[in-house]
Structure 1
Amino acid sequence: MKPVTNAPAAYYPALTGLRALAALAVYCFHQRDSPLLGSSALDAVIRSGLSELHIGVSVFFTLSGFLITKRYAKQQFSRAAWGQYVWHRAARILPVYVLLLTATFAVQGPGGNSLGNWLGLYVVNVTLVKGLVERWFLGFIPQAWSLTVEEGFYLLAPLVFWLGWRYRPARAWPLLAAGLGVLGLATYSALPALGTRLFVLQATIFGRLPEFLVGAAFAWAPPRTGRGRATAGGVAAMLAVLGFMLIAQQFSNKVSLNSYPGVLLNNWLLPVATGLLLHGLATERTRLGRALSTPPAQQLGRASYCFYLLHMGLLPAILEPWLGRWLSVGGAAAALLGLLGLAALALHHYFEQPAYRWLLARFAGGRPAASSTAISVPRG
């Protein structure tokens, strides 16, 4: 069987709602050192649980692999189709990111940098090169490192699909993931100034490709995969992997992803559980699917990319001191979450979507795709 052109895009409301949960998980992960948590045994348990909610990023990556495969795997990538594909992806990611990055640079100013170094850092960040170098990847908008990984998969996706059609996913994709991982480790070992081997596995496409490929494999699978129990099985499996991560955390005394066993769990085992859940939400009728398909969940899911980029950085830095002067610690935390959510909804409706549609109409000559198939990151 050969790929066909112009395959219709599918829309999965439950997966849009899941994006909101993934974004909330990442937000909670970054609150693990909140002043709300003291030194009691219960606080320690809560902090330990929050420390593993970085899995929201992995969910975003696996979801991206699933949705991009559903949309593009059956299309032929001619030169024109390739250009349109790349423009669609750039139009989805870059406008909001460039806006927030530019605002962050303008407000923070050069600081201790010379003007040339300051402008150089802007170029490194706006081109997303930042995510390839350990000393840069958490600068300015820290969470945007994941966009570098996401863009890496977008560029690899046509090759991934061609290998799938030519050699079958089960044969070709594990070899691709292993080969790219070895290439990344060898490159960073030869150029240690770029980063450590653990960094390669934690935060670059060389280590994170398996998450996208597992999502793609579940998108490729027959509809009856899971025999009608994929949603429940995916939830149970994700909870089991989270339990293993908590065990790994106790042995290493650090967030599991900061250890090699934790990377293995996060990058290889968790995506299988996530992929099963995604397949179930896309093919089964369940209570969870209905809850994630409600109008509020859809609105929050569509705005999840804006929330993801807003939840750390300039806006919280402005709001937190102001809220802290007027509210208790708990009240300030709740108000901050609410204000970030409202800001994300406004940014999505009044900038992200209009900019995306304008860019496609002006430069791509096409209509935007259904929102749940466009991007999912970390848009996660």
Structure 2
Amino acid sequence: MSVSAPISRRERLPSLTGLRAIAALMVFVFHIYAVAVFASPGVTRWMSHSASQGGVGVTFFFLLSGFLLTWTARGDDTARRFWGRRAAKIVPNHLVTWVAAFVFLSVSGLTLTGGFDRFGLDSLPNLFLLGDWFPRGGVFFSMNIPSWSLGCEAFFYLSFPLLLPVARRIGARMLWPAAVALVALVWLMPVIADAAFHQGPLVPGLPVSEDRMWFVYTLPPVRMLEFLLGIVLALIVEAGRWPRIGLRTASALSLAGYVGSSYLPYLFGLVAGALVPLALLIPTAAVADIEGRPSPWRGRVAVWLGNVSFAFYMVHQLVIRWVHYALGATRSWDTPQALGVTALMFTVALALATLLYYAVELPLVRLFSQARTTSAAQPATPATAPPQPASIA
């Protein structure tokens, strides 16, 4: 099988931006399924395989984060500037949605575990992106539930200045064995969870105990395996060792992995089931952009949706909960009405995400990017820490 050529300069990768929108949509559809908007048993059975694997979207984001941070790294950056730009990317959106969640929960009192503790474990660990370290569903899935993944990303960002120099020391011939080893470790995590944890209280609404869910799905050091795999995949592309895989083939395999993971035992389907197809898709889409080959994911609309996808990810579940609460907190609808409710939730979420992106996220990202450009224009001593991209990971 032929391989790509070594990369001598960094290209923009719009297909990866477009794919972000698909990943965010996966999570949205899963949350529609999770709150039982559709009353039809037939639709629910169909959605149990077509819409139940929203966690695959988070796996995509973690892989993509490692890939893009490595891809756009520069040697003249410092850890402090890197952390500042990453904070500017995730913290403002988190704070805005945390306040919105605080208001909603104060009004409704609808948490996973009962009454809402305004200034306790229900809220404060999440505010500081530390909820992932507590093996309790009411903590790691507190407040604005999708924000749990930001706790993992914060851990990745803190570690990246140390991880990248180590990863770059891996010889080119050992990059593929390293990738295979990381995939194997991800598959090993559910086995460890089953062996190490006894069946305790279930996560409300899910067929898995809180401690096992915490270990496999939300614990940052475990989820870092995907981030590390993204780093290694970027290095493989850099070295010109990525095999020639058609983008349509990689996309189809990812779709099959998404659906197929719903047939696996629950803990394996959460992360491991679709990992390999997604790990094939991201570098394949990147190489398609580098080589100028056709890609359905780099169209103008797809890229715009990808740009607002982080804001959409942060607001969508709050919108679902607010609308569902307003229309009847435990209500389901016949299929035509349910489609209308879903369309309403999506439209409101996209509108609010657009506002959040243009009013909060984009201005701060540009501000810190300009600061990086200004610093780069001044004479500086080469940094020992790896660089961080101005682009959004």
TM range (shorter): 0.7 to 0.9
Paired-residue identity, %? 24
CA contact (8 A) 1:149 1:203 kept: yes
Structure 2: where are the runs of 5+ without partners?
1-7, 110-114, 202-209, 377-387
| 2:92 equivalent to 1:95 | yes
Mapped partners of 1:140, 1:213: distance in 2: 28
Matched with 1:128 is: 129
Q: Which protein has the bigger helix share?
A: 1
1 CA distance for matches of 2:57 and 2:178? 27
CA 118–273 in structure 1, closer or farther in 2 if over 3 Å, else same: same
Q: How does 1:168-187 map to 2 (within 5 A)?
A: 168=171, 169=175, 174=181
Once the two structures are overlaid, the 10-residue window that deviates more, 351-360 or 56-65, is 351-360
2:14 partner letter: P
Decide whether the 8 Å contact of 1:144 with 1:309 is kept in 2: yes
Q: Kindly report which structure 2 residues correspond to 1:210-359, keeping only aligned pairs within 5 A, or say none.
A: 210-222=225-237, 225-248=241-264, 256=265, 258-259=266-267, 261-263=268-270, 266-267=271-272, 270-284=274-288, 290-313=295-318, 315-322=319-326, 328-358=337-367
Structure 1 distance, partners of 2:243, 2:214, is 38
After TM superposition, give the deviation of residue 238 of structure 1 in Å.
Answer: 2.1
In 1, are the aligned partners of 2:178 and 2:232 still within 8 Å (CA)? no
Name the CA distance, whole Å, in 2 between partners of 1:222 and 1:320.
44
Structure 1 residue runs of 5 or longer lacking an equivalent are 1-6, 249-255, 376-380
CA contact (8 A) 1:63 1:278 kept: yes
Structure 1 vs Structure 2 CA RMSD: 4.0
TM-score, normalisation: structure 2? 0.74
The residue number in structure 2 matching 1:206 is 221
Q: Map Cα deviations across residues 275-326 of structure 1 (whole Å, 9 max, x no partner).
A: 221112112269995332122111111110111011112x33333455679x
- Read off the aligned partner of 1:82 and give its amino acid letter: A
TM-score by length of 1: 0.76
Matches within 5 A, 1:49-60: 49-60=50-61
The answer to whether the 8 A contact 1:84-1:364 is kept is: no
In 2, Cα distance between the equivalents of 1:60 and 1:93? 13
